Copies of this chain bind each other. A is one copy, B any other.
């Protein structure tokens, strides 16, 4: 698999991207990485590193999309930006997948426009991985589409199911709609209409799931509109951080607590690792004719390495072709 990595994308780039690429090719045998961006800076960073040289190459791109720029402006003006060049390599067949930790709206827009939508998909969606008390689950849409139709939610369910199967090798993943009650009569107009469509589809639709149950780990794919998905994701991130801080404060208020905290540190570290986005690397844009992975802006080398791993796995399984078949068979009601 050949992965085009936007070497300039992300808060810690290009250091973290170059390091992530080096770690990738050092640890796996079947992935090649093309570092796309300012070749002088990239080559300078690569100079002192040891790695199998034939599996990293550099593709120069003279420009970088600034973080505050709108996707529409970037699409028009940044034709030689690292992300534009990296996405184009997938379109031209010179790479199997693209990974970027840069401006996520721009990565999404460029992937959508340059690589194109799968026929039959109305709205591509971002699928993100969330931790639970049991196995991790897929949340889709995590923020690509703020206003959605019931038909969009059906597509998210079909695409999320295919993604979950491909990534975790789970057969017939359980798919549920995020809702305010379990009964099919519960919810807003969108979820009530989507319930009917998903019930009639041939994925393993298990009904509605309440917010309180999401982290129990009893479902594989949670479906919602991108507005709700993004807020669910961010609320969870913010709360986990707040809880960690509150615990630390409570502990440091007492002597026995300080001692306890020192003894508990390894456990807390493991816990943080478990809830760390970087473990899962990145989120694919599902519904386009190829593989595009959007990583967190603060991606560490480990997060970049994991995102490249996910990209290689999905491209290797040709997830976009599976989705194309699934979405069109669902639409025909097979």
Q: Measuring CB to CB, which residues of chain A are less than 8 angstroms from any residue of chain B?
A: 132-133, 143, 146-147, 178-180, 187-189, 191, 210-216, 225, 227-228, 230-243, 245-247, 250-251, 253-254, 256-257, 259-264, 266-268, 270-271, 274-275
Assess whether B250 is in contact with A256, with CB atoms less than 8 Å apart.
no
Q: Which of A133, A178, A211 has the most CB of B within 10 A?
A: A211
Question: Cβ of A231 and Cβ of B211 under 8 Å apart?
Answer: yes
Is there an interface contact between B235 and A214, defined as CB atoms closer than 8 Å?
Answer: yes
| Contact present for B237 and A133 (CB under 8 Å) | no
**How many copies of this chain sit in the oligomeric assembly?**
2
Contact: B237 with A211, CB < 8 Å? Answer: yes
A to B CB contacts below 8 Å, 10 in the list: A132-B242, A133-B246, A210-B234, A211-B230, A214-B239, A215-B235, A228-B228, A256-B263, A256-B266, A260-B267
User: Which residue of chain B is the closest to A235 with respect to CB atoms?
Assistant: B211
Q: Cβ of A239: which chain B residues have Cβ within 8 Å of it? A: 214-215, 236, 239-240
Query: Contact: A263 with B267, CB < 8 Å?
Result: no
B251 near A188: Cβ-Cβ < 8 Å? no
| Cβ A187 vs Cβ B227 within 8 A | yes
A256 to B265 Cα, complex, angstroms:
10
